[in-house]
Amino acid sequence: MQVSGSGSVPLSVIVLAAGQGTRMNSDLPKVLHQMAAAPLLHHALTTARGLDPARIVVVTGHGSDAVTAAALAFDEAVDAVLQDPQHGTAHAVAQAAPLLTDATGDAIVLYADTPLIREETLRAMLDARQRHGVVVLGFHAANPGRYGRLVTQGETLLKITEWKDATQAERNISLCNSGVVCADAQTLLSLVAEVTNDNAAGEYYLTDIVELARKRGLSAGVVLCDEAETQGVNTRHQLAEAEAAFQARARSDALENGVTLTAPETVFFALDTHIGRDAIIGPNVIFGPGVTIESGAEIKGFCHLEGCHISRGATVGPFARLRPGAELAEDVHVGNFVEIKNAILDEGVKVGHLTYIGDADVGEFTNIGAGTVTCNYDGVMKHRTTIGKRVFIGSDTMLVAPVSIGDGALTASGSVITENVPAEAIAIGRARQITNPGLATKLFEKLKSIKAAKEKGH
């Protein structure tokens, strides 16, 4: 973007993602633990991308290769730089300096383990840059604990004091530091270069830039946000708390945007879930990544959806599973205990129940009977099934791919279809039925006598 309070100027975002997260008790880097079906890092990157920045730099450390791969999976345009060794937040920001030598406009520093910061909050910080050289995001904490304290005089931020270095009077302050800062990019980098490690922890604190800026005659100010936005993730308990906070926010946003949630507390969203107005979501629905639901669609209870697109007027479930690559056109009906994977269902297709459709193309207004399976895997490779328009697939049909069914064709119930079926043909692929009158009675009498003999022998 070109975002800033005073007009359209380039923005840079630096995301700090170097921490090991020892309190997570995990081999996985902390910022790759998932919340709402996405790594914590992706939450920070999503917020950053909402500002349309000219450049995003991720500072990595522990598990650098994996963190870099996750950043590039989110957006190949993201730059990653390694902080090794790790000597504090100012030192981390300094690692981004070589990538931002030509940066103009403002820069914002975010944290990959603080996933709930809102885009609107960052825009408020950019607006505040019209009045201050450095802007810090702060919050009033119910229990300030070991947070850094913001020492203010009126609307002016005098300094940020880390808890380890704070006096008792400063520790009594409830206004706390989130760590998020905004300043002119080149000013930020030059201030960071002046930071020393003369403190109790022997680290280079990003918070020191406030006093350094004031020595240059630059003002510093605070933008306030709700404490919930600043929820950091350092333990599994905090990860669960952040997940709950995200879901509560996502449910509220969905309701505000005209989506019906019949039991909101039972619906779980992914970071990138998109749902149109007047869609209806039943109870106990779980959204994995990559799901788009168009306006007017209905997802009934107990469905699991991932990597799929559901068009206007379609209905899904209850108890259905849509896997990556599932594309449902308008007015498609997918019923209970149906699984769809990597398949395109055209307008008006009906797949009522107890069916698996994988690696398939299904033409408009085709009806798929209960118990149908597209047998798409031969143990080595996947093969595709093509079903034409207005086809009737009888119940319990096995479609052994690769195979195609022509427009208007019909398969008889219980058939195993291994060859292509021409348009408007009937295909029957089952053994001939043999009926022996009276034989059932004779067979049951014989079995009963065998059973009685065994019981008598005991």
Residues classed as catalytic: 353
The answer to whether 222 and 216 are in contact (CB under 8 A) is: no
Q: In one letter, which amino acid is 356?
A: Y
DSSP 99: G
The DSSP bridge pattern shows strands 385-387 and 367-368 to be unpaired
> Regarding beta strands 34-35 and 134-140, do their DSSP bridges make them parallel or antiparallel, or are they unpaired?
unpaired
Residue written as token pair 């004091």:
161
β-pair partners for 333: 315, 350
Pair of tokens at residue 39:
């790594």
Helix (H, G, I), strand (E, B) or coil at 75: coil
Tokens of 279: 């869609």
What letter would DSSP give residue 63?
Answer: B
Phi, psi of 409 (to 5 degrees): -80, 170
Q: Cα dist. 90→31, 96, 162, 186, 210 in Å? A: 19, 10, 13, 14, 12
As a residue count, the chain comes to 458
Distance, in Å, from the CA atom of 142 to the CA atom of 259, rounded to the nearest integer, reads: 33
SS3 of residue 340 by DSSP: strand
